[in-house]
Amino acid sequence: MDEIIIGSIPLLIAFGVSLIRYKKLEPRWLRLFTYFLLATFLIQTVGYLYSALLKKSNHFIFNCYTLFEFEFLFVVFFKALGRKIFKNIVIFIALTFTLVYIYEVFIQGHFFIYSPFASNAGKFLTLLCCMLYLTELLMADEYVSFFRTPMFWIATGIMIAAVGDFLYLCFFDYIITNKLDPEGRVYGIITTSLSVIEYGFFTIGFLCKKTWIKNK
C-alpha cells in the first residue's frame, strides 16, 4: 500500500504540471502525456482496488496496460523523430512488439498471468526508440540545448525506468521459482523508486519553456 501511494505522488505531480501547462506544451503532441498520465493513474488504482477488494489476480489488467503503454510511447517517438528512416524503424518496432504481445498474451495464454516477456520486449524496444531519439539530437545540424528540450528529459526518464525494470524482469521467473521475493516487496520498492525518477524527469520536461527543434 505504501509503495502505491509513494509511487502515485510523482505521477500525480507530473499529471498536475502537464495539466497546468497544457496549452503551453509544444509541440502539441506533448499534450497527449496529460491523458496518458491520467489513464496510467486510473488503471493502476483500479488494478490495486480490484485485487484488494475482490481478492483476485489483477494480472490481466496490467497485461492490457502493457499494450497501451508501449504503443503510446511508440507513437510519441514516431512524432518526436524527424528523419524518415528513424520513423520507419519505429513503425517496424511497433509492429514487432504488437506481434510479440499477441503471441505471448493470447496465443501462449498469458492473458490472466502477468507476462514479463511481453513487458520486457516492450521495454527493450522502447530503449531502442530512446537511442534513436538521442542519436537524432546528436546528429542535428542546429545547436540543441538538451537540458531545455522537453523530450530529452522525458526520454531520459523512460530510459532509466525501462533499464531498471528490465533487469529485474529478466530474472522474474528465477525469482518466482526460488521464492526470492514471494510477496513482491523488492519489486515494489524497485518500481516505486523508478517511478519517482521517471515522473520526476517528466515533470522537468513539462516545465521546460523552450520548445524542441522542429522536424525537417
113-153: pLDDT as tens digits:
888 889 899 999 999 999 999 999 998 877 778 888 999 99
Q: What is the pLDDT of residue 115?
A: 82
Contacts of 100 (CB under 8 A, 6+ apart): 117, 118, 121
Q: What is the pLDDT of residue 5?
A: 75
Q: What is the pLDDT of residue 127?
A: 95
pLDDT average per 10 residues of sequence, the chain (216 residues): 74 96 93 97 92 89 95 97 96 98 93 87 95 92 83 95 81 67 70 90 89 45
C-alpha cell at 3: 509503495
User: Which residue type is seen at 22?
Assistant: Y
Q: What is the pLDDT of residue 216?
A: 40
Q: What is the pLDDT of residue 1?
A: 53
103-112: pLDDT as tens digits:
999 999 889 9
Q: What is the pLDDT of residue 73?
A: 98
Find how far residue 80's CA is from the centre of its chain: 15
8 Å CB contact between 7 and 191 = yes
